[in-house]
Structure 1
């Protein structure tokens, strides 16, 4: 399944459905409706990884802004904007997703990657959690697109006190595990999942995506290697 297939599959499960941002096929009609509802949307390749090929559209007062990488392009109409990307949307099959106003650290948005792996008994465990801070002026947080990996504790420190922060991290970890429990019903043979979770300005977590072939190397960038060693250990268990 691509992103849209995973979304429809997971949407059926109440335990996580409220944490899934509205996601649809990237038709002009759907983009128009969702911009009216949310003010901004993301266009993503249905089967893309690593933050490549992602666009953000923001509705202005009298214009529409298309964000690509660190560049922004103004259009007088949505039809005009859509015409400029239509070929790519059709060729690679895109989805449109509700734009989340993500929390920021040093004025740069960040999201969280929760690593969930099966242990030797085939039971899912959270083995790592890391923050990914977007490069200045960029719309994606991915490590391979210039994002900076940082401990979640540091990123959440300005937003929550010590006790609340610890509880919130546990909540995000549980959400990541719950999401993998659901998706794992359709990906039985997979032993590792990477759950990307955004947090909005009201501290609501949103499941942006679940990767079934997650990059483990991002955890090796942290000074403390405990999580990375645990992830490697789990990746070798059968």
Structure 2
């Protein structure tokens, strides 16, 4: 008989687990099951929402809803559609919500670089002693007019320092990047309580216009190849080395 995986969780399960920890719960965007009631209530609370596949990866199955004058703007990929009422919006969403499990998440007003949104991926891996260490950090710049930053959805991998140049001076950038690396490790330690056998975590962090970091998601099977896209291969070599422990 095949052994049951005890801790298999999608985005919602991970969110609920991590929200019990006071060290990071204030940095988790509000996330709920994508029911009609939850979407309605959250649209009254936030300017924008993301609808995401509970177990989707690589930027698949992501929709953005923005509350605008005259109704609700629904975006997916590079396409947009305006709905004048919530019922019309939900009818459009219901087509795919009935087939798969989705979550609805508070929208974060992402920082931009050259008019394009970006977020951060922090790689955290177990060292030779089994302790979690931050081994890499990289920025992901969204393709023009796209709502997702993922590498496999056309996002451009760039050094975090480059993306923060217009937001912080050199000294403050270095301090802030260290804080992001530390946050990635702290968040991984928390989720690692539930995924004890995992050796690597990819922590996706959004930064809002007030420079507050938000933990969007933690991937328990992170893609390492994005780091190979950087000209400087130092981080990529370190990540490969740790992957062998």
- Fold shared, TM-score > 0.5 on shorter chain: yes
Match of 1:101 in 2: 109
- 2:64 is aligned, of 51, 56, 63, to 56
2:93 maps to 1:80: no
Query: Counterpart in 2 of 1:66?
Result: 74
Query: Is 1:188–2:196 an aligned residue pair?
Result: yes
- Partner residue of 1:120? 128
The 5-angstrom pairing of residues 166-205 of structure 1 reads 166-205=174-213
- 1:233 counterpart = 2:241: yes
Matched, 1:14 2:22: yes
Which of 37, 43, 47 in structure 2 is aligned with 1:29?
37
CA contact (8 A) 1:35 1:59 kept: yes
How far the C-alpha of 1:111 sits from its partner, in A, is 0.1
Partner SS, residue 42 of structure 1: strand
What CA distance in whole angstroms lies between the structure 1 residues aligned with 2:187 and 2:60?
23
CA distance in 2: counterparts of 1:22 and 1:90, whole angstroms? 22
Alignment partners' CA distance in 2, 1:123 and 1:90? 41
Shift of 1:20: 0.2
Deviates more, 1:161-170 or 1:220-229: 161-170
Query: Which segments of 5 or more consecutive residues in structure 1 lack a partner in the other structure?
Result: none
- In structure 2, the residue matched to 1:217 is 225
Task: Tell me what 1:208 maps to.
Answer: 216
CA-CA distance at 1:90 after TM superposition: 2.4
CA distance in 1: counterparts of 2:95 and 2:10, whole angstroms:
19
Q: Is the 8 A contact 1:45 1:53 kept in 2?
A: yes
Moved over 6 A (4+): none
Shift of 1:85: 2.0
Q: Cα RMSD between the aligned structures?
A: 0.6
How far apart, in 2, do the equivalents of 1:61 and 1:11 lie?
A: 33
- CA distance in structure 2 between the partners assigned to 1:10 and 1:26 by the alignment: 19
Partner deviation per Cα, 1:121-147 (whole Å, 9 max, x = no partner) = 100000000000000000000000000
Alpha-carbon separation, structure 2, partners of 1:65 and 1:47? 24
Pairwise CA distance, 1:87? 2.9
Deviation at 1:28, TM superposition (A): 1.3
Distance in 2 (CA, whole Å) between partners of 1:79 and 1:116 is: 42
The aligned residue for residue 43 of structure 1 is 51
TM (normalized to structure 2)? 0.96
Whole-Å separation in 2 of the counterparts to 1:201 and 1:72: 24
CA-CA distance at 1:49 after TM superposition: 0.4
Which whole-Å deviations, capped at 9, do the CAs of 1:79-138 have from their partners, x for residues lacking one?
Answer: 111111213112111000000000000000000000000011100000000000000000
